[in-house]
Structures are given as C-alpha cells and as structure tokens.
Amino acid sequence: MSLPEIVSRAEWRAAREALLAKEKAATRARDVLNAERRRLPMVEIGKEYVFEGGDGKATLPDLFEGRDQLVVYHFMFAPEWDAGCRSCSAFLDQIGHLVHLRARGTSFAAVSRAPYPKILQFKARMGWTLPWYSSYVSDFNADFEVTLEHEGALVERPGLSCFLREGDRVFHTYSTYERGLDGLGSTTSLLDLTALGRREEWEEPKGRASALGAPAGSEGVRYHDEYEF
C-alpha cells in the first residue's frame, strides 16, 4: 500500500499552506465557471410529458410543485429491471434534506423509465421519501439523452437536468451526465447547476438573487424544522 510520506508538523503545515493556495484558486475558478453556467441560454419546453407518481398522472410543470426551479435526477431504472441502479441509489442516498432546496424556490425529483409500481417498491426498500416519477409512457428519457439506442438496444445512463418556470412556461437550462455528477448531492452543489443559483447577492450575473420573487441569500437558512412551509 502506498501511504503519504511521514513528516514533521512544520513540514506538514508548509505543504498544507501550499495546497490551500491551490484550493482557494480552484474555488475562485469554480465561482467563475458557475457564473458562466448561469449565463447559458435556455430552451422552452413545448412538448407535454406525462409522468406517473404518488398522486397519479403528472406533467412536467407539476413536478415543480409550485416553485420556480426544478432539478431532475435521471435515475437508471429500465422497465425490465427488478431494482434500480446501485450507483444511482448511492447518489440518492447522499441527497440532503429537500427543505433547504425548497427554501430557495427549487424542487427536486428523480425520474426513471421503470413502471411506477416497481419504483414504489424499490423506493420503500431504500427508505426514501423524495419525489420519484415514472416516465414509462413518455419520451422524456430519450429527449434528455439518458436512454440511448446502442447497437439496436436501449441503454441507460445517469444524468441531471435543471428547469426554470416562468408562469406557465417551462425552460430547460442545463444538463450533465455520468462524470459530471461527481461531487454533487449537497444543497449548494445542486443550486450551483441552476439558472438562479444560490440566490446570493454576490453571485454573477447580478439581478437573479431575488428573481421571480424568491427569497435571497444564506441569511434565510434555517434549521430544517423551522421553515414556515
């Protein structure tokens, strides 16, 4: 086994400070990249997608649950499978309390091609309470490039897509797949993928922190049992 070199505390401190400078540079570079992502153009969704969830049939606007933004995790679960993808399951295991996303006007849902009864059974096994919908009867997975045709067969890949709602209009703002999911799962990491971001005043471009009338800033963070909704 290859282990780190053993050094004195002073040597460790010097090496740590050198690395810290690089970590701070990476943080600043990430802020720039996130701002560039928020500046991406968006595409209006004209097709009506039909999903099945705990309350029966649902459309894409329904998945917003009345909020401005929606983050969809494309969970790999083909109709013929008896259980969901192990890696996708590990991803959902690390999703935090959804109330913190919702406080920033953002909903989260998983979507899979498996019929809803299979999803419901597996969801109960995993002990998850987050919203999870079946896209079995729609083109949603194909249109968002997570169910692909390869050598005459359909194959699944994991992904995540972000949507923005303005009145009755829904827009697709961002998608990422496979290794693009690395490091995601926390509230801030998911918000950083959205068009409105964390809704902090320091974020670029300016003017989106209070967009669509949503609360802005980290000063609005509460214990998860203290939010008033």
Per-residue pLDDT reduced to its tens digit, 101-159: 999 999 999 999 999 999 999 999 999 999 999 999 899 999 999 999 998 899 999 99
pTM of the full predicted structure?
A: 0.93
Distances (CA, A) of 75 to 30, 110, 111, 128, 209: 26, 6, 6, 13, 30
Per-residue confidence (pLDDT) for residue 196, from 0 to 100: 93
Asked whether the predicted pLDDT for residue 207 surpasses 90, the reply is: no
d(CA 182, CA 219): 28
pLDDT of residue 50: 96
- How far is 219 from 217, CA to CA, in rounded Å? 5
Residues 7-61 pLDDT 10s: 999 999 999 999 999 999 999 999 999 999 999 999 999 999 999 999 999 999 9
Cβ atoms of residues 57 and 145 within 8 Å? no
H-run or E-run covering 163: strand 159-166
Angle at the Cα of 24 from the Cα atoms of 18 and 26, rounded to 5 degrees: 105
Cα–Cα dist 216/93, whole Å: 27
